[in-house]
Structure 1
Amino acid sequence: MDTLKSLDPAHNDIAKDLADTGVRYVTASWVDILGRSRAKSHPVELLPELLAGFARYTPRGINGIGVMNPVEEEVTAIPDLDTLTVLPWDTRFAWMAADMWSDRGEPFPSCPRSILKRQIQRAADQGYQCTLGIEPEFYVYRPENLHSGGFGDLTATGAIEPSPAYDVETTYDVADFLDDAVATMEKIGLKAFALGAEGGVNQFEIDFYYKDLLEMADRVTLFRLMMHQVAKRHGLAVSFMPKPFANLWGSGAHFNLGLYEYGKPEESVLRIGGSSVAGEDEWSKESKYFVGGLLKHARALTAITNPLVNSYKRLTPRLVDGSVSWAPIKIAYGPNNRSCMIRLPENRPAIEVRNPDASANVYLAGAFLLAAGLDGIANEIDPGPEMTELASERDEIERLPRTLLEAVEAFEEDELTHEVFSEDFIKDYTATKRDEWEKDHLPVGDAERTDHLVYF
């Protein structure tokens, strides 16, 4: 069987050990542009061939960018053995994160994992390593209760007004599912430290400890797959859609970026002194420059951190009932200001980027955010004064893009985009996202006719 690399006899022993525990199939999982897992699965005895690179794919159209071409070059999935995980919800399968390689022995330019690894290496060359913690929000519902106006009833407690956020009884109502999810998370390498009800009816959040950036991207990709599978065991469905209904809170996925001296995970570059902010000077000059880089490239970043037309229906100052949405819309930062794009939290040495949502591909988002922060440090970009007021009400502060189209245009124009991503990736990604925007924008719906047909 033709492979990119030579077979390693030691991998036969790993395959045998897996088979002895009941594993029947192995999966070298790559991700599409929206971070969804893609792969074939193979009998476990083919693990040595899989690790050497024999599983080939035609990735472009399937991958979600560009136009599928029947005569284009195939790419090969090369799995990372360090990520090997027997899936706790179905122990017949073992999963690995994979990079995509061309037959010329080069990383595939549109492989999200390879794009992230290049930026991680760039940080290492500058003496840094980056960590990431993510706060994913999601909705849980019974598929049979879904209707055009909402998710329907989930909990015995019912809707809590004005918001179920932090409501203990609502959490207890779905404890069987949440407990199963947390237990399964731990088996795939994510340890939870908090779980509970969020601001929308049927909305929840599970928070877990940070990891090195690449490991977190791998684990969160598996987490998304896991949550859907665990929910089905309870007759439920989970959605990470940014804004499923106009009258409900949007679901974000705040990125908490840490920066450390390379090889010294205890030596934070961002914080001076203890873990609690006693004064402004506890944040290092590097932290401010890092923030400066994020703010400088904010409009371009949103094309990756908020990649759907639907993402921008979350990034609004208010909900349809007039209440504050809590989603950031202004390019600003503050010490504990959740109305800003960037928050400097009081309880951890990490920079919280609040605008991303869980539809983002964590590899691509992590790569672009890290590159922006490093650009800030390299060029000592001043982020300006901290914002302590409600940022959405300050007209002089620049706003994040209002639409995916605006974000894509900013993405194309930003010089950093062309350093992080290949020109082929940029061309295909922007064309795909423009097409998504046009498909949403061009149709004329019933609401428009109701408002305009007779009046005009």
Structure 2
Amino acid sequence: MKKSNSETNLGRTGFASRLDLKQAEREDQLARILETIKSSDIQVVRVGFVDAHGTVRVRPIEASHFAQAARNGVPFTTALLAMDSGNFIFKPVFSGDGGFGRREMGGAGDVLGVPDLSTFSVLPWADRTGWVLADLYLSSGEPCPYDPRGLMKKACAELAKRGMSYLGGIEVECHVFKIRDARLGLEHCDQPAATPTVDTFAHAYQHMSELVYDAQNPIIEPLRGMLTKMRMPLRTVESELGPGQIEITLDPVSNVAAADAMSLLRTSIKQLARRMGMVATFMAKPGLPNVFSSGWHLHQSLSDQSGTRNLFASDDAVLSKVGLQFVGGILDNVGATTAFSNPTINGYKRLNANPLTPKRAVWSHDNRAAMCRVIGGPGERSTHVENRSGEPSANPYLYMASQIFAGLSGIDRGIDPGPPLDDPYAQTNMPALPTSLLDAITALEKSTVLRDAMGAEFVEYYIAMKRHEIGRFMSAVTDWEHREYFENF
């Protein structure tokens, strides 16, 4: 079909054409997407970005307008960037600069989400619906400094300057429960809303039992089928230790696409579960009886730009010099990076209470008690480092970017983490992980490494957002307080 003059002009003069993007490549990608939209009778495309909490915020665009949206961007109010985890506003969004210190972000105006066309997917569970991730830009064309995906791109660009590439593998746990009562009455629709009452599929605490796995198949098989249809790099979907708990692992993916995969994985599982009358939660330690805590183990390594040579592999050592220094940087910056690997108050209930989680900033060779566990060894091309400290609800872009920046600081400064430890739990003289979100945020506030790498503007923004959440938590009267003091004092 012949393009109209207006559509042709959009390709030349649209907002995206002002950006430092490969325009010819984008037009080829757009042409293929438009053909998919036509052949699959796509009616709506969800254009989304991932906020600092890891939540995908979307605007559904009529498919007939997607070409225009791809070229001109999609507006998102800056108020979305001024909300804490409960969607409470923590900045004066209607002021001249919106509380961001930038006139372009004042008055709760808009930033523009420019779709990254390489992320386009068709959602198999939603009727004739497409999905695509966007990068945020200010109206001037400058990348929005509060866009987590932009920070991950920045981290990967720093690696590229050194001839390196990032490889991230996902191993994440979550819970999926049957909903007994969704609690959707208006009396339950406060902020945050009341949570559903739930049941599980089977009793648990029989780890890797085939009977437990088979009992969970009513949710595992649909999830596996859906993720396969979306061409996710799926490796396993299996039952985990606790009731209703499952684990998903993905093959390693390069650079920003690794974080994209986690974003799509998490939102997809939650959406499909809801459509089946279930609820999926990536909360680290749900407040439910007999429920085990969940973690996110991030597997990571560096390769050359071609992706053919693993820079962590060594012919005669457990880990190469580059790998050792990368681990040294992660351990040296553990206080600040934990603000991103464990960004919720709840995450520290897992780290502190679960006897199987790492407690100190140590590394080891194939020992799960260590924060950084090296998998592989001399002569093994797949050698990589597993960070076992993260929680499942962490923002993948910020988690991975903070690891890259910390690791690069170790390489640049030649940090030697020392020999691997055989008994990580016994090393009480080693630095402890933060015991609360407040401790982690305080460490981030003092970090020159992450402040310089991620930008002081973003770090101050993130600290303010988390301090607002912590303030709300500290001001709330808990059930423990009420029982402890109401009658006795």
- For normalisation by structure 2, the TM-score amounts to 0.83
The equivalences for 1:69-84 within 5 A come to: 69-70=93-94, 71-84=107-120
Q: Distance in 2 between matches of 1:216 and 1:23?
A: 26
Q: Distance in 2 between matches of 1:39 and 1:217?
A: 17
Deviations 1:179-204 (A, max 9, x none): 11112112223232223221222111
Q: Distance in 2 between matches of 1:368 and 1:144?
A: 39
Q: Which residue of 2 aligns with 1:401?
A: 434
Q: Percent identity?
A: 26
The equivalences for 1:273-422 within 5 A come to: 273=315, 281-316=317-352, 318-319=353-354, 324=355, 326-346=356-376, 348-391=382-425, 393-422=426-455
AA partner of residue 384 (structure 1): G
AA partner of residue 359 (structure 2): I
Q: Which residue of 2 aligns with 1:276?
A: none
The alpha carbon displacement at 1:421 in A equals 2.2
Q: Distance in 2 between matches of 1:142 and 1:452?
A: 35
| 1:57 counterpart = 2:76 | yes
| 1:5 counterpart = 2:16 | yes
Q: Which residue of 1 aligns with 2:241?
A: 199
The alpha carbon displacement at 1:229 in A equals 1.8
Flag structure 1 segments of 5+ consecutive residues without an equivalent.
274-278
Q: Does the 8 Å CA contact 2:364/2:424 hold for their aligned counterparts?
A: no
RMSD: 2.5
Q: Does the 8 Å CA contact 1:27/1:39 hold for their aligned counterparts?
A: yes
Q: Distance in 2 between matches of 1:410 and 1:9?
A: 44
Say which SS state the counterpart of residue 39 (structure 1) adopts: strand
Cα distance change, pair 252–134 in 1 and its aligned pair in 2 (3 A): same
The alpha carbon displacement at 1:290 in A equals 0.6
| 1:437 counterpart = 2:470 | yes
The alpha carbon displacement at 1:378 in A equals 1.4
Deviations 1:73-103 (A, max 9, x none): 5210111111111111125111111100111
Cα distance change, pair 95–454 in 1 and its aligned pair in 2 (3 A): closer
Q: Does the 8 Å CA contact 1:137/1:253 hold for their aligned counterparts?
A: yes
Q: Distance in 1 between matches of 2:292 and 2:255?
A: 28
Deviations 1:257-286 (A, max 9, x none): 1110111x221000124xxxxx7x142111
Q: Does the 8 Å CA contact 2:81/2:146 hold for their aligned counterparts?
A: no
Identify which of 122, 128, 133 aligns with 2:169: 133
Q: Does the 8 Å CA contact 1:137/1:203 hold for their aligned counterparts?
A: yes
AA partner of residue 27 (structure 1): R
Cα distance change, pair 453–394 in 1 and its aligned pair in 2 (3 A): farther
Q: Which residue of 2 aligns with 1:22?
A: 41
Q: Distance in 2 between matches of 1:333 and 1:433?
A: 28
Name whichever of 415-424 and 128-137 sits farther off.
415-424
Cα distance change, pair 54–390 in 1 and its aligned pair in 2 (3 A): closer
Q: Distance in 2 between matches of 1:170 and 1:13?
A: 43
Cα distance change, pair 395–145 in 1 and its aligned pair in 2 (3 A): farther
Q: Distance in 2 between matches of 1:135 and 1:39?
A: 26
The equivalences for 1:26-105 within 5 A come to: 26-62=45-81, 64=83, 66-67=90-91, 69-70=93-94, 71-105=107-141
Flag structure 2 segments of 5+ consecutive residues without an equivalent.
1-9, 18-22, 85-89, 95-106, 184-193
Identify which of 461, 471, 482 aligns with 1:428: 461
Q: Which residue of 1 aligns with 2:153?
A: 117
Q: Which residue of 1 aligns with 2:305?
A: 262
Deviations 1:430-454 (A, max 9, x none): 1111121122123333423444567
AA partner of residue 4 (structure 1): F
Q: Does the 8 Å CA contact 1:145/1:153 hold for their aligned counterparts?
A: no
Q: Does the 8 Å CA contact 1:28/1:39 hold for their aligned counterparts?
A: yes
- For normalisation by structure 1, the TM-score amounts to 0.89
Q: Does the 8 Å CA contact 2:175/2:280 hold for their aligned counterparts?
A: yes
AA partner of residue 116 (structure 1): M
Deviations 1:209-232 (A, max 9, x none): 111121121121111111012212
The equivalences for 1:176-255 within 5 A come to: 176-245=218-287, 247-255=290-298
Say which SS state the counterpart of residue 267 (structure 2) adopts: helix
Cα distance change, pair 152–77 in 1 and its aligned pair in 2 (3 A): closer
Deviations 1:330-382 (A, max 9, x none): 11111122222111124842110111112111111111101111111111101
AA partner of residue 343 (structure 1): R
AA partner of residue 295 (structure 1): L
The alpha carbon displacement at 1:51 in A equals 1.2
AA partner of residue 158 (structure 2): R
> How many pairs align?
438
Q: Which residue of 1 aligns with 2:200?
A: 154
Deviations 1:14-72 (A, max 9, x none): 42541231101122210111111112111112122111123111134456355251314
Q: Does the 8 Å CA contact 1:167/1:196 hold for their aligned counterparts?
A: no
The alpha carbon displacement at 1:248 in A equals 3.0
Q: Distance in 1 between matches of 2:42 and 2:365?
A: 49
Q: Distance in 2 between matches of 1:298 and 1:285?
A: 20
The alpha carbon displacement at 1:206 in A equals 1.5
Q: Distance in 2 between matches of 1:388 and 1:455?
A: 49
Q: Does the 8 Å CA contact 1:62/1:68 hold for their aligned counterparts?
A: no
The alpha carbon displacement at 1:427 in A equals 1.9
Name whichever of 240-249 and 61-70 sits farther off.
61-70
AA partner of residue 190 (structure 1): M
Say which SS state the counterpart of residue 247 (structure 2) adopts: strand
Cα distance change, pair 450–40 in 1 and its aligned pair in 2 (3 A): closer
AA partner of residue 57 (structure 1): F
Q: Distance in 1 between matches of 2:462 and 2:451?
A: 13
Q: Distance in 1 between matches of 2:482 and 2:139?
A: 53
Q: Distance in 1 between matches of 2:199 and 2:16?
A: 53
Deviations 1:86-133 (A, max 9, x none): 111125111111100111111000011111101101101001000100
Q: Does the 8 Å CA contact 1:290/1:377 hold for their aligned counterparts?
A: yes
Q: Distance in 1 between matches of 2:236 and 2:262?
A: 16
Deviations 1:241-269 (A, max 9, x none): 01103753211111111110111x22100
